[in-house]
Every structure is written in structure tokens, then in C-alpha cells.
Amino acid sequence: MPKKKITELIVGTNNRGKLKEIKDLLPNYLKIYSPLDFKIKSPAENGKTFSENSSIKARYFSKKSKLICLSDDSGLEVDLLKGQPGIYSARWSGKKGDFKKAMNRVFSELNKKDKNWKQKKIRARFVCALTIFDPNRRLIRSIGKIEGSISPVMKGKNGFGYDPIFVPKGKKLTFGEMKASEKYKIDHRFKAFKKIKKFF
């Protein structure tokens, strides 16, 4: 029997920036819901890796909505900060989701490590863990990464999160300066999605 085509799903995030990016990656024929459509609050993310947190959200939102869920957990890892903020990337923005505050914290933490960091190339990467979970308990995971460096100043107003301070390897612009169409071709979320798009 041919595999039943997915016609609707819930994207397991209450982050509007992530929701928009994921929607743009998904096929147009899909009916897409967000947790806000069901008034579902986000679960506690107590995993120790991006994959664990992505799976927690996928299972939770699928159970609550009775729909297949595509969930994302992603963040910024800075080598000089020993991988921080990592899985705590969103938490660095505080309860109000203030990513200017989060980016300033990255700068502050780098200053503590090396006062001359702005004259150096500080290696970093974005990581995205995607999970598909359906009520039949099928679990599919994928991870995408993009290497780059930290800009010494915030640049650009596009994207969301830490985009204004991340310069992808081989590029001169930050994600915050890039057009969405350019960013989507190379970013961590796109790379993770490429590995699972065959399921749609």
C-alpha cells in the first residue's frame, strides 16, 4: 500500500520567527497549525541536547493536538564560550524574548574571556534539530549545522534571534543582513529539513 500523504500538521513552536521559516520550507499543500491555534503552551525543555528538546516538544504538541508534529530546537554555539549559549539560546533572551539582550550577553561573555575578541575571528555555529512525531509513535529526527563566526557588532534587521551577529563561513554579511531567500538556501534549518523532506 502506498504511504498515506501528510495533509496537515502542527509546527511545534510558539516562536513566530521559527514558525515563519519552517512554514516557508514546507510544501504549499499542507494545512499548517501552530500551538497558538489550540492555545497550547510550550512544555518544559529539560533535555540536555537540541535533539532531546526537539523530541520533547514534538511528542508534547502531537499528543495535545492529535496531529503529526514537526518540532524544532535550535541555537547558537560559540567556541570561545565552550558552546554557550547552546540549548539555552532562547533563555538568554529572558521571559520577554529580548534577543538584543541575548546578543549583548554574548558580547559581555566574550569580553570576559578575551578583551581583544573583536579583533579575532570567533568561531561559532547555528544548530537545528528537527523532529517529526505522529500519534502512531513514529519518530524521525534530523540535525543541520552551519559554521561561521561572531560579528563584533549587530548588523541587519532581517531574520530573528541571533541572526544580526552571525556571519556564515565564506560570507561577508550576517544572517540579519541577508534576504530571507538567500539565508534559507544555506542555514541550519534548511540543512536539517533537506534530510526529512522526503516524508512530505
Q: Is 73 a catalytic residue?
A: yes
User: Active-site residue among 24, 37, 73, 79?
Assistant: 73
Strands 69-78 and 8-12: parallel
Which segments within 7-163 are labelled E, that is strand?
A: 8-12, 31-33, 69-78, 123-133, 139-150
Judge whether 127 and 75 are in contact, CB under 8 Å.
yes
CA 192, CA 167: separation in Å to the nearest integer? Answer: 19
| DSSP at 152 | S
Positions annotated as catalytic residues are 73
